[in-house]
Amino acid sequence: MEEKEFKALLVEEDRNEHKYNRRLVTRKISDLPPGELLVRVKYSSLNYKDALSASGNKGVTKRYPHTPGIDCSGVVEHSLVPDFAPGDEVIVSCFDLGMNTPGGFGQYIRVPAAWAVKLPGTLSLRRSMIYGTAGFTAAQCIERIIGHGVTPEHGSVLVTGAMGGVGCMAVAILAKLGFQVSAATGKAANNFLSKIGATEVIPREKISAGKMRSLLRERWAAVVDTVGGHYLEAAVKTTKYGGIVTCCGNVASPELALTVYPFILRGITLTGIDSAITPMAKRQKIWQKIAQEWQLDFIDDLGQEIYLADLNASIEAMLAGQLTGRIIVNLQ
Ligand SMILES: NC(=O)c1ccc[n+]([C@@H]2O[C@H](COP(=O)([O-])OP(=O)(O)OC[C@H]3O[C@@H](n4cnc5c(N)ncnc54)[C@H](OP(=O)(O)O)[C@@H]3O)[C@@H](O)[C@H]2O)c1
Say how far residue 279 (Cα) sits from the centre of its chain: 17
CA of 272 to the centre of ligand 1 (A): 15
CA pseudo-torsion sign 70, 76, 82, 83: positive
In the reported structure, the alpha carbon of residue 176 is separated from the centroid of ligand 1 by a whole-number distance in angstroms of 21
Closest-CA residue, ligand 1 atom 25, reads 161
For ligand 1, atom 9, name the residue with the nearest CA. 249
> In angstroms, rounded to a whole number, what is the distance separating the alpha carbons of residues 284 and 270?
25
Tell me, in angstroms, the distance from the centre of ligand 1 to residue 133's CA.
Answer: 12
Helix (H, G, I), strand (E, B), or coil: what is residue 313?
helix
Tens of pLDDT along 273-331?
Answer: 999 999 999 999 999 999 999 999 999 999 999 999 999 999 999 999 999 999 999 99
Cβ of 276 closer than 6 Å to ligand 1, yes or no, is: yes
pLDDT digit string (tens) for 170-214? Answer: 999 999 999 999 999 999 877 999 999 999 999 999 987 666 899
* Residue scoring higher pLDDT (94 or 289): 289
Mean pLDDT for the stretch of residues 91-106: 96
Give the pLDDT of residue 208.
73
pLDDT of residue 212: 80
Q: Are 277 and 255 in contact (CB under 8 A)?
A: no
Kindly report, residue by residue over 127-160, the tens digit of the pLDDT.
999 999 999 999 999 999 999 999 999 999 999 9
- pLDDT value of position 105: 98
User: Please, where are the H alpha helices in 161-256?
Assistant: 165-176, 192-195, 229-237
pLDDT of residue 209: 63
What's the pLDDT band for 107 if we cut at 50, 70, 90?
very high
Q: What is the pLDDT of residue 284?
A: 95
Q: Which residue type is seen at 322?
A: Q
For the chain, percent of residues with pLDDT exceeding 90: 94
pTM, 2 dp:
0.96
Q: What is the pLDDT of residue 94?
A: 83
pLDDT of res. 15: 86
pLDDT of residue 320: 94
For ligand 1, atom 6, the nearest C-alpha belongs to 134
Residue 187, ligand 1, Cβ within 6 A? yes
Question: How remote is the CA of residue 248 from the centroid of ligand 1, in Å?
Answer: 9
Amino acid type, 48: Y
Contact, 22 vs 9, CB < 8 A?
Answer: yes
Residues 11-64: pLDDT tens digits? 999 988 789 999 999 999 999 999 999 999 999 999 999 999 999 999 999 999
What's the whole-number average pLDDT of the chain?
Answer: 96
The minimum-distance atom of ligand 1 relative to the CA of 248 is 1
- What is the Cα–Cα distance from 264 to 320, expressed in whole angstroms? 38
- CA-angle at 134, arms to 74 and 259, nearest 5°: 150
